[in-house]
Amino acid sequence: QVQLVESGGGLAQAGGSLRLSCVASGRTDSEYAAAWFRQAPETEREFVAGIRWSSGPTYYADSVKGRFTISRDNAKNTVYLQMTNLKPEDTAVYYCAVASYGLGSSRDLYDYWGQGTQVTCSS
């Protein structure tokens, strides 16, 4: 079992920045992958960014490429999402997720989810 706790959400103006953190507790494995998803009201939960727990490349949705950066600190069992140049359309609840196998944009890949943290960007 893996427990995930997100933090760092809040209110930012357009063009501003926020950094989200996701602390994992319980059993984690180097083969695991972590990702950030987001869900705005009345929309589907969508993939934002992903990274392998141990090493390897990062993946981003086209809508956030060049503005968001996913990273990890293995010593702290923490995954981050640095968000810059925020736009009002980035407003959503952001969820951290972990997959036991594989890395991709499908929600079905992910076995563990955090409770979410609200990000609001005002124009």
Q: Cα dihedral angle (46, 52, 98, 37), rounded to 10 degrees?
A: -20
DSSP the chain: -EEEEEE--EEEETT--EEEEEEEEE---TT-EEEEEEE-TTS--EEEEEEESSS--EEE-TTTTTTEEEEEEGGGTEEEEEE-S--GGG-EEEEEEEESS---S-GGG--EE---EEEEEE-
Q: What is the pLDDT of residue 93?
A: 98
Q: What is the pLDDT of residue 55?
A: 74
Rounded CA-CA distance 26/20 in Å is: 20
Kindly report the average pLDDT of the chain as a whole number.
94
Residues of the chain with pLDDT under 50: none
Q: What is the pLDDT of residue 103?
A: 87
- Reported as a single tens digit per residue, the pLDDT across 79-109 is 999 999 999 999 999 999 999 988 899 999 9
